[in-house]
Amino acid sequence: MNTTTHTGKRIWLTGASSGIGAALAEELLARGHRLALSARRREPLDALAARWPQQVLVVPGDLTEPDAVAAIAARIDAEWGALDVAILNAGTCEYVEVRAFEAAMVERVVSANLFSAAHCVEAALPLLRKGDQPLLAGVASAATFLALPRAEAYGASKAALRYLLESLRVDLAAEGIAVSVISPGFVDTPLTRRNDFAMPMRWPADKAARRIADGLDRRALEIAFPRPFIALLLLLAHLPGRLRLAVTQRMSRNPSKDDTR
């Protein structure tokens, strides 16, 4: 076990090779924390380790594979003996084209966004139970506040992740393990740059990383941003059902029968 003295927290961050994860890694390292970084691609993690050699533990792997996740946890245990924070950020997004609905695509997205997180929770909890003021955090999405066009797979996976984390919050409270749900709106990342639609109030990744890190410092139950975008989604979500449908249907690429006459 590495016995070098550090003042920062011992943090496991998944999905750290790009986007929000990479920006959050930079932010947390700059704040003096130690990070165990996971992603499928090792090269970006090694680049961070080269710049922060005393603070980074590179633990790559496919988080949809339970054996790979168990091996990551074993390495963290051997090096640090415990975790103070686990941040489950790894995930993906694919959009449904409803005229060619594909169940296999839903399965892929749910596997990447929900099942991988469940594997990580199983691996992280024993380490968090040995940590200092332990915190489990997961990246859901602002899309969980309102059903949106083409988001059937992504939204369902992130809504399920939200429910998983909020239920864990209830059951882990007696053990002193806090749970934070992170709900970003649009953030400028390699994943979102592939989107072929308008992304209102999009934030740069470094700004999102600062907001997330600040929220984790407060052990916030919910870290949702940007606030005006979240407020708009919540307002629409609380409209009467038929009015809500009329509003969101206007965002759909499948026009209503009345629109095609």
Residue among 12, 154, 186, 203 flagged as catalytic: 154
CA pair distance 180, 72, nearest whole angstrom: 22
- Whole-number average pLDDT of the chain: 92
- In this prediction, residues 172-195 reach a mean pLDDT of 89
C-alpha neighbours within 13 Å on the C-beta side of residue 96:
24
95 annotated active-site: no
- In this prediction, residues 87-97 reach a mean pLDDT of 93
Percent of the chain exceeding pLDDT 70 equals 93
CA pair distance 207, 217, nearest whole angstrom: 16
**What is the predicted pLDDT for the residue at 4?**
45
- Ranked by mean pLDDT, the top range of 123-132, 196-205, 240-249 is 123-132
**What is the predicted pLDDT for the residue at 202?**
85
How many angstroms separate the Cα of 224 from the Cα of each of 55, 192, 215?
28, 18, 9
How many angstroms separate the Cα of 56 from the Cα of each of 25, 87, 132?
9, 15, 19
- Ranked by mean pLDDT, the top range of 91-95, 188-192, 194-198 is 91-95
CATH 3.40.50.720 fits 10-234, yes or no: yes
Contact 91, 110 (CB under 8 A): no
Alpha helix ranges (H) inside 38-115: 43-51, 66-80, 103-110
What is the maximum alpha-carbon separation in the chain? 72
- Ranked by mean pLDDT, the top range of 187-196, 203-212, 247-256 is 203-212
CA pair distance 56, 80, nearest whole angstrom: 11
